Amino acid sequence: MRDARWVIAAVLGALAGVLTVTLPPDLADFAAAGDLMLHGRFADVYATPWNQAGPVQLLVARILLIGGSAGTPALPVIGLVGAALVVGAMWLCRGSLRRELFAGGLALLWVLAPLPWNGHPAEIAIPLLWAYAIGLQRNGRHLAAAASLGLGFAIAPWAILGVPGLLAAAPFGRAVRTGVLAVAFGVGSYLPFVLTGHFAMFELHWAVGAGTLWSPLISEVTWVTRLVQAVVVSGGVALIALRSRRDPRAVALVPLSVAVLRVVTDPVQFPYYWFPVAVASILLFAVDRRRPLSAGAIGYLALLAESADLTVAGSLGCLALIIVTLLKSVETRATFPSLAATR
């Protein structure tokens, strides 16, 4: 029976992807930059400021466009990605038909949104890498945790925002050492381009999106503004990570918090900024067996916010639900001290 419903889910996911695909923004340009890498032309990859993707994302974009045309992936690739997202969400919640259907339905709606093709599909891996790093750190595998975070940084620079999440899995000193190593790994992935040519990534200026928290203050964003945003997000992530240190759901709560804080503080609005939120919300639903309703509510609120273009209000609502979830976990530990002692 399970195999049958997973097959049906795969077919629905594939159809949703094929029927709603749009011309993916930046994918063709990223793939072209990936071609430059494969041909050893490192000096040209970041020669102009438009390229804000990491080298791993450039290679993924090149792979996704194999067999495609006019900057759009081939239909089998689109279908495979859609099927994998829906079945993957159900697999995370395996063991309960109700939970499988809920997670699969939410993932299907995100494919219909249409994400990830309305954005940067490689960035789907970033919240999963954050979660994996927290799990590895908890198990004492510090080098592997740093490598996981460094890989995220090599996909997109904004993945560095997840480094303070290590505080959910280790004491401050150990988390800092792992975090420094993770940043070193991430920076190392860009060094071949920095050392062989003009690295123009930090020269890009963005127009501030209407309706963002920044729009009443400034009209243009530079990397200095991005650094301010990073400090704010990192501080929030650190607080949430410390609060959830003894909570087994931290592997999902922290990545979800990072993704939501990024959306709410960002001076630019793009639909694909919500996709890491979608992935992390499904992951939280998978790991939160006690309060799946609140976890599921975050996922559907994020979907509504993206679909209705309610970026600030929707992300603030998601953040409020995350905080409520964290406070409830604190109450649970106070009521059941024996459970807290075993975590």
Task: Kindly report the number of other CB atoms within 10 A of residue 219's CB atom.
Answer: 9
pLDDT in the model for residue 333: 42
Q: What pLDDT score was predicted for residue 325?
A: 87
Yes or no: say if 290 and 252 are a contact pair by the CB < 8 Å rule: no
Distances (CA, A) of 2 to 14, 95, 96: 18, 9, 10
199 is written with which tokens?
A: 């690295």
Beta strands of 136-238 (E only): which ranges? 206-207, 220-221
Sign of CA dihedral 42, 45, 49, 52: negative
Measured CA to CA, the distance from residue 60 to residue 43 in angstroms comes to: 20
Q: What is the pLDDT along the chain (343 residues), one digit of tens a residue?
A: 667 899 999 999 999 999 998 889 999 999 999 999 999 999 999 999 999 999 999 999 999 999 998 889 999 999 999 999 999 999 999 888 999 999 999 999 999 999 888 889 999 999 999 999 999 999 999 999 999 999 999 999 999 999 999 999 999 999 999 999 999 999 999 999 999 989 999 999 999 999 899 999 999 999 999 999 999 999 999 999 999 998 999 999 999 999 999 999 999 999 999 999 999 999 999 998 877 777 889 999 999 999 999 999 999 999 999 999 888 765 444 333 333 333 3
Query: Coil, strand or helix: which one is 114?
Result: coil
Q: Determine contact, residues 106/98, Cβ cutoff 8 Å.
A: no
H helix runs in 113-171, sequence order: 125-138, 142-155
Instruction: Give the pLDDT of residue 326.
Output: 87
Tokens for 257?
């918090």
Q: Which residues pair with 206 in a beta bridge?
A: 221
Which of helix, strand or coil describes residue 206? Answer: strand
CA distance readout (Å), 235 to 69, 164, 207, 240, 257 = 43, 8, 25, 9, 11
Could you give the 3-state DSSP secondary structure of residue 220? strand
Q: What pLDDT is attached to residue 290? A: 77
β partners of residue 72: 69
On the 0-12 / 13-18 / 19+ scale of CB atoms within 10 A, 205 is exposed
Distance CA(164)–CA(272), nearest Å, equals 23
Task: For the full predicted model, state whether its pTM sits above 0.85.
Answer: yes
Q: Where are the domains of the chain?
A: 123-342
User: Rounded to an integer, what distance in angstroms lies between the CA atom of residue 260 and that of residue 276?
Assistant: 8
- Residue 40 region, left (φ>0) first, then alpha (ψ -120 to 50), else beta? left
